[in-house]
Amino acid sequence: MAQAQRPLVEPVLERPVKSIPKAGPLEWLVRALQVRNKTLELTERMYERYGPVVMTSFGFMKSVNLFGPDANKFVMLDRDGNLSAKGAWDLIMGRIFSNGLLLMDGDEHRSHRRIMQQAFSIAALESYVEQMGPRIAESIGDWHQRGPGFRAYPAFKTLTLNLAASVFLGVELGAVTQQLNRAFEDTVAASMSIVRLRIPGLEFQRGLAGREWMVGFFRSLLAEKRASSGNDMLSRLCRAQSDEGRFFTDAEIIDHMIFLMMAAHDTTTSTLTSMLYELGWRPGWQERLREESRAVRSPLLACSEMERVPALGWVMQETLRRYPPLSTVPRLSIREFDYQGYRVPARALIVVYPIHTHHMKEWWSDPYAFDPERFSDARAEHRRHSHSWVPFSGGAHTCIGLRFAELQIKSILHQLLLRYRWSVPEGYQMPVQQAPISKPRDGLPVRFERIH
């Protein structure tokens, strides 16, 4: 009897799909209520209990939380096109920061980013740094006279907002400073609101009102800027065009400027404040950086001199590791896909957490210690994995202003180090709000002493 012939093509066996561990709705509610101040604690608890993938759900919305640098790489690079930044951020702040670069996908995102990149060219950045130097000196000149009640966070907020207005808008804010600052604070806070209704007195309504005020403010500048040949960012964006000769519309410019102004002063203020705190009770590190800045032999730090202060760069990187301005990066799944053997559903919020990755003992030695030298070439802990240090996100949505932020932070710290010594109260520990923007809940009390 003849043997049956074997099929020419072997059958494909489906890989077993693991079930995603699920946290209950109560855990979701606790997370929603506590995430502003306890993002790191909550994510560490989820990771220890459930592992690198866990689903939380509340009503119709499912959230798949992924942990670790592999997850960051998978989500931020999104090589298979499974995820949407726009879909996620629209849910969180679409009515507040409409149509900002972060809220775009695909060809639209690439086109807008390419046009905007003209305002972040090397020549543009050199111009911005040159403009900022004297303004920084003028703004910090009396900080030693403010006394022990001085709060660093609001002072940095005012400084960086005025710098952003000068560099980005080419205007002096004057009496409008506080109103614009309040509008930004209200809009950022509204992005975390649970109740999203236009009810007078509620946080979300204040955010909508703040956005409407800013739209009017930026619109009032456009006619003059469209006719201008100025070097400020708003003028550059008015002139910038695509390879096909397309210019931004008024509405597009307004949306981009609102988002850029928020990011430029909120995230920079966050990092500056945390650096000031860490150095405030570490006089040894403070003096080390001061000697490095003195060796530059210039009260103002030019673009060409930024590499002459490497230890200042390490401190900035270590601060961004410990206090990433954006602790959470969300995406929305646009189709079902597999991740490490788990079947992830469509229309789920996919979330990775830089703040958690930055504190994983698998990737960082003594992760809760302040240790800037981990970023030196000799140790280079941040190079153990391409996505273990991601304070500026990654992939197509890497922060377009990261180089500007670095230059501004170093410029300000350089001048502070040459002018002052500072300290925080004895025994003080900074109470940190970790979302939506990392910042001290008490404003950070600091005492400045003039160096003679």
| Residue 157 dihedral angles phi and psi, to the nearest 5° | -60, -45
Mean pLDDT to the nearest integer, 275-289:
97
Cα atoms in the Cβ-side hemisphere of radius 13 Å centred on 128:
29
Domain ranges of the chain: 22-450
% of the chain surpassing 70 pLDDT: 94
Mean pLDDT to the nearest integer, 408-415:
97
Say if CB 173 and CB 162 are below 8 A apart. yes
Say if CB 327 and CB 76 are below 8 A apart. no
User: What's the residue count for the chain?
Assistant: 452
* Integer CA distances (angstroms), 69 to 74, 184, 355, 376, in order: 9, 31, 11, 20
Q: Which residue has the higher pLDDT, 119 or 398?
A: 398
What was the pLDDT predicted at 270? 94
Q: How far is CA 396 from the centre of its chain?
A: 15
Task: Please report which confidence band the pLDDT of residue 15 belongs to, taking 50, 70 and 90 as the band edges.
Answer: low
d(CA 418, CA 450): 9
Cis peptide before 354 (omega within 30 of 0): no
Q: Kindly tell me if the per-residue pLDDT of 243 is higher than 70.
A: yes
Q: Kindly tell me if the per-residue pLDDT of 13 is higher than 50.
A: no
* Residue among 44, 77, 29, 79 at smallest CA distance from 329: 77
Q: Kindly tell me if the per-residue pLDDT of 18 is higher than 60.
A: yes
What was the pLDDT predicted at 2? 47
| Residue 420 dihedral angles phi and psi, to the nearest 5° | -135, 160
Q: Kindly tell me if the per-residue pLDDT of 12 is higher than 50.
A: no
Residue with tokens 């949505």: 397
Say if CB 217 and CB 176 are below 8 A apart. yes
Cα atoms in the Cβ-side hemisphere of radius 13 Å centred on 224:
10
Please say whether the dihedral angle defined by the alpha carbons of residues 152, 306, 263 and 234, taken in this order, is positive or negative.
Answer: positive
User: Could you count the other beta carbons within 10 Å of the beta carbon of residue 74?
Assistant: 21
Burial of 130 (C-beta count, 10 Å sphere; 0-12/13-18/19+): middle
What was the pLDDT predicted at 178? 82
d(CA 352, CA 64): 9
**Confidence (pTM):** 0.89
User: Roughly what angle, to the nearest 10 degrees, separates helices 106-116 and 250-280?
Assistant: 70
Tokens of 32: 């929603």
User: Could you count the other beta carbons within 10 Å of the beta carbon of residue 426?
Assistant: 6
Q: Which range has the worst mean pLDDT, 14-23, 122-131, 334-343, 356-365?
A: 14-23
Q: Kindly tell me if the per-residue pLDDT of 96 is higher than 60.
A: yes
The superfamily (CATH) of domain 22-450 is Cytochrome P450 (1.10.630.10)
What was the pLDDT predicted at 355? 97
Tokens of 87: 């879909």
> In this structure, what DSSP letter does residue 401 have?
T
* Integer CA distances (angstroms), 232 to 115, 239, 296, in order: 15, 11, 27
Burial of 212 (C-beta count, 10 Å sphere; 0-12/13-18/19+): exposed
Task: Please report which confidence band the pLDDT of residue 5 belongs to, taking 50, 70 and 90 as the band edges.
Answer: low
User: Could you count the other beta carbons within 10 Å of the beta carbon of residue 406?
Assistant: 19
d(CA 258, CA 401): 14
Most distant CA pair in the chain, distance: 105
- The secondary structure element, H or E, covering residue 404 is helix 402-419
The β-bridge relationship of strands 439-440 and 337-339 is unpaired
Say if CB 387 and CB 72 are below 8 A apart. yes
